[in-house]
A and B are shown apart, each in its own frame.
Chain A
Amino acid sequence: MEKTLVIKNKTGLHARPAALFSQKASSFASDIKIEANGKSINAKSILSVLSLGITQGTEIKLTAEGPDGSQALDALAELISTFKD
């Protein structure tokens, strides 16, 4: 299962947004990955999320494999849409 979206908030997937994102991802049983800037990493790892350096305007692809995969993707996309700063 996968979903492609664009990061719209100003700070990108940094700081607090990155922390919230990986915390949310960790609450699901599925394996979740983010692909961006030519790399694919574990979405549950804040260090890996930060190491992608996802800035405003970056296109990211989320993939999830596992029992709650589709819920996970919906929840993460929903979370990203709430980031304002």
Chain B
Amino acid sequence: MLKLNGIGVSEGIAFSKVFIYKKENPEIVKKAVKDTEAELTKFKSALDESEEQLDLLYKKACEELGEEDAGIFTAHKMFLEDPEFVLGIRENINSGDNAEFAVKKVADSFIESFSLIDDEYIRERIADIKDVSERLIKNIMGIKEKSLSDIEEECIIAAYDLTPSDTAAMNKEKIKGFITQIGGKTSHTSIIAKTIGIPAVVGVDDIFKRFKGGENIILDGFSGSVFISPDEDTAVKYMEISVNYNNEKNKLKKYTERETVTSDGKKYKVFANIANHHDVSYVTENGAEGIGLFRTEFIFMDRSSLPTEDEQFEIYKSVLESMAEKPVIIRTLDIGGDKEAQALNLSKEANPFMGYRAIRICLDRKDIFKTQLRAILRAGVYGNAEIMFPMISSVEELLKAKDVLNEVKNELKSENAEFSENIKTGIMIEVPSAALISDILAKNCDFFSIGTNDLIQYFTAVDRTNEKVQDLYNPYNPAIIRILNYIIFNGLKAGITVGMCGELASDENFTDMLCGFGLNEFSVNPSSVLKTRRNICLSNSKDNEKKASDVLKAQSSDEVKNILKNGM
């Protein structure tokens, strides 16, 4: 037995075989070719193989996602059959290129001419050309890539990192857990694991040296331990932990249909956070009363062009329809910081969290902002949508964002388009300056949602992605407790709703205190909805208020922790 240690970022225990998920990025270079015929044959069979793969993908996508979403694979196949594409490659091979280099040359020349055209649709096709030529090149070079969508047997994925495009098509039924080399509590791997409700461990060094694939392991998402070929004692111990955990989870199920109300009758709401429209099923399964944070940036990531208005409209509409009349808070683009978007071509910054990001980009690139607002407003007629601006740091910024929103509304009106005119508009409170003027901001919006991840990082000057200062990232700091109370107080005084969508909302040590402060809505990962609701239902206002007033008097982080955990 071998034990590895990482960071547990999503709770649960998994027993399964390891599946190595490694992405290959072949280097394509010009090589001396002795046998041109052989290169032509290689190209021809790679072409056939690619077409077969695309046919299979199309069939699979039709079954799982519907014909419209599957259309992308038909488009890819058309490119493979394109006479100029195929002839161009053959000509290059005939004049001495190796097959993979010939493909790259032709693909690059189409990409170049497409990138000169000022049209969103055409630029989007660049990603398709890249995708299809990469498939062709990998087939020529004999690189067999395993995809998370073809997984047939139960397994735990071991990968360097996981991106939204890796996990979008994965076979969720069979995947029991994740282990990655990089990532933290707020990275995609941990968000997706918590959404599905499977354990995840990140920060395991040299991941591809540790695992060979197929070995049996135990994954402990609580402690971050991984046991390779576990001995009997360890297996028995973990069986017990797992059974207890599952029993607990089953007991929570009765809270699915319940209201979130304390034993003395005070009502709260438990909402869920989602990253894309595929996550909605986890929200409804867990009985969340709404979506408190729809992170729209994932619609913009892992692609070379920006999503169009209609594309966004369809996504927002489908989420709103699935949530029936329950509120869905759509956060406008929050890119930058630790989230990159190729399509925006953002330059590297020395201080990305304090740089060009979120609302700052949107107010600068009004074209992107307006497209998104139009899509949200139009989709708004299909449900109960609310708009939320991230990273607001001054009242001027909020007013500017609202001006753009009004501009878009007027445009839609003059086009006679159907849209949700009285949409509620709120802001994230995550920048210290916004927290301190929350009384003023509250007069200018309909709701607050406290983003604790960034608020703690900014307020205590601790980069949450820097492992060396992780110990200083401390929500028990009395400064954090005071500022949370101040924000909630100001929001309630102005008569607006105050929610919280950061990690703290699902941390059970903080639930009672936040209820005591008067927080209206807790927005948590789908798999934490029931636990949060149970904790609120089991509490009572008198104790919650006492805890809230005691904790405000605490003189140190330790005191805060003691009061929150033990009530003293």
Contact = CB atoms under 8 A, between A and B. Distances in A.
A48 B82 CA distance: 9
A45 B89 CA distance: 14
Interface in B58-104: 75, 78-79, 82-85
A48 to B, nearest CB: 5
26 contacts: A11-B121, A14-B121, A14-B122, A15-B121, A19-B75, A19-B78, A41-B84, A42-B83, A42-B84, A45-B84, A46-B78, A46-B79, A47-B79, A47-B82, A47-B129, A48-B82, A48-B84, A50-B122, A50-B125, A51-B110, A51-B113, A51-B117, A53-B116, A53-B118, A53-B119, A55-B119
B85 A45 contact: yes
Contacts, number: 41
Interface residues of B, number: 18
A48 B113 CA distance: 9
Given A45-B84, A51-B114, A53-B118, 11 more contacts: A14-B122, A26-B83, A41-B84, A45-B83, A45-B85, A46-B78, A47-B82, A47-B84, A47-B110, A48-B82, A55-B119
Contacts of B117: 51, 53
Interface of A: 11, 14-15, 19, 26, 41-42, 44-48, 50-51, 53, 55
Contacts of A26: 83
A58 B272 CA distance: 49
Nearest to A48: B84
A3 to B, nearest CB: 21
A14 B123 CA distance: 11
A5 to B, nearest CB: 21
Contacts of B119: 14, 53, 55
Nearest to A26: B83
Contacts of A53: 116-119, 122
A51 B129 CA distance: 12
Interface in B230-282: none
Contacts of B84: 41-42, 45, 47-48
A38 B218 CA distance: 64
A7 to B, nearest CB: 13
A46 B110 CA distance: 11
Contacts of B83: 26, 42, 44-45
A34 B116 CA distance: 19
Nearest to A55: B119
A30 to B, nearest CB: 13
A75 B164 CA distance: 44
